[in-house]
């Protein structure tokens, strides 16, 4: 990944190599000479704004990093970052709400790149309060972070019946995210510490084992019965805004008929 540093030429070179693109291939894509690519990567030449934009689009860094590199090079950022409350986000907001509503009564919620919980439907609210009764007075008024709720001793994992299966898999994915977003490292470490306290060191073994089912199912014990879910994620296909690019909608689907009937009976 490109980082915003005062070593832009070297970072461009590292990013190109990470993408496994040769200088010649990149030069052909950009319509410049291989020599010019070499000069930029060595710091002997400075790319124009148009060339740097094209260059970064070939390397495909995250939008926020794209902007950081442009600013470092002395150019205006390319992408905006409007809050969801901005009038210009009206279409996006309608789409998000339509997805949440259409998935009810099954749980669905919106999170950003930092795992902050931005929105949720009735099913998600019911599930959160059922698994964590203590959040009922907080969930509608206090900003929540799903990683914090995962790492909390009284959080989502407390009543998870197959934590030994789900926990290590989730931790692997979160470590990968934290490698790209160092700001998540503290929260991911807290989740790892929780898993160690629940499962022990052997429970977090990195030894790969063949999955027994095509989808990872998470099972919970609740006062109204056992629930089983698998998840899918929705993202915006071609966002031109950093805020929209960071959003994910998680849809939780019933993994068995008993869960579907229970949710429909409880949420309606």
Domain map (residue ranges) of the chain: 8-72, 87-267
Q: What is the mean pLDDT of residues 60-77?
A: 86
Using the predicted structure, report yes or no on whether residue 200 has a pLDDT greater than 90. Answer: no
Looking at residue 211, its pLDDT comes to 57
Distance CA 167, CA 256 (A): 21
Q: Which CATH number fits domain 8-72: 3.20.20.70, 1.20.140.10, 1.10.260.40, 2.40.170.20?
A: 1.10.260.40
Least trusted range by pLDDT, from 1-5, 179-183, 194-198: 1-5
Looking at residue 63, its pLDDT comes to 86
Position 5 confidence tier, pLDDT thresholds 50, 70, 90: very low
Neighbours of 167 (CB within 10 A): 23
Position 4 confidence tier, pLDDT thresholds 50, 70, 90: very low
Question: Who's near 126: CB < 8 A, 6+ residues apart?
Answer: 105, 107, 263, 266, 267
Using the predicted structure, report yes or no on whether residue 2 has a pLDDT greater than 70. Answer: no
Give the 3-state secondary structure of residue 253.
strand
Per DSSP, the residues of 52-110 read: HHHHHHHH---HHHHHHHHHHTT---S-B---TTSGGGHHHHHHHHHHHHHHTTS-EEE
Neighbours of 244 (CB within 10 A): 21
Closest CA to 113 of 227, 239, 200, 267: 239
Distance CA 166, CA 160 (A): 9
Position 27 confidence tier, pLDDT thresholds 50, 70, 90: very high
Residues belonging to the chain: 268
Peptide bond into 105 cis (omega under 30): yes
What class has domain 87-267? alpha beta
Please give the residue that has the higher pLDDT: either 67 or 250: 250
* pLDDT tens digits along 86-114: 999 999 999 999 999 999 999 999 999 99
Looking at residue 1, its pLDDT comes to 47
Q: How many CA atoms lie within 13 A of 69 on its CB side?
A: 29
Looking at residue 98, its pLDDT comes to 97
Using the predicted structure, report yes or no on whether residue 231 has a pLDDT greater than 60. Answer: yes
Contact between residue 166 and residue 125 where contact means Cβ atoms under 8 Å apart: no
């Amino acid at each position: 990944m490109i980082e915003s540093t005062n070593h832009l030429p070297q970072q461009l070179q590292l990013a190109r190599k990470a993408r496994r693109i040769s200088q010649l291939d990149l030069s052909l894509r950009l319509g410049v000479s291989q020599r010019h690519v070499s000069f930029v990567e060595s710091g002997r030449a400075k790319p124009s704004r148009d060339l740097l934009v094209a260059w970064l689009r070939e390397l495909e860094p995250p939008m926020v990093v794209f902007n950081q590199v442009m600013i470092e090079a002395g150019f205006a950022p390319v992408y905006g970052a409007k809050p969801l409350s901005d009038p210009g986000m009206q279409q996006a907001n309608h789409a998000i709400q339509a997805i949440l509503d259409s998935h009810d009564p099954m749980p669905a919620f919106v999170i950003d790149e930092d795992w902050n919980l931005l929105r949720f439907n009735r099913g998600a609210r019911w599930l959160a309060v059922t698994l964590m009764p203590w959040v009922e007075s907080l969930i509608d008024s206090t900003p929540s972070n799903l990683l914090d709720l995962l790492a909390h001793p009284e959080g989502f994992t407390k009543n998870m019946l197959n934590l030994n299966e789900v926990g290590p898999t989730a931790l692997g994915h979160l470590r990968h995210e934290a490698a790209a977003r160092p700001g998540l490292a503290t929260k991911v470490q807290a989740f790892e510490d929780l898993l160690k306290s629940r499962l022990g060191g052997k429970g977090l073994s990195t030894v790969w084992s063949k999955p027994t089912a095509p989808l990872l199912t998470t099972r919970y014990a609740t006062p109204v019965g056992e629930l089983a879910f698998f998840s899918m994620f929705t993202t915006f296909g071609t966002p031109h805004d950093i805020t929209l690019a960071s959003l994910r909608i998680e849809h939780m689907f019933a993994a068995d008929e008993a869960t579907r009937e229970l949710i429909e009976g409880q949420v309606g």
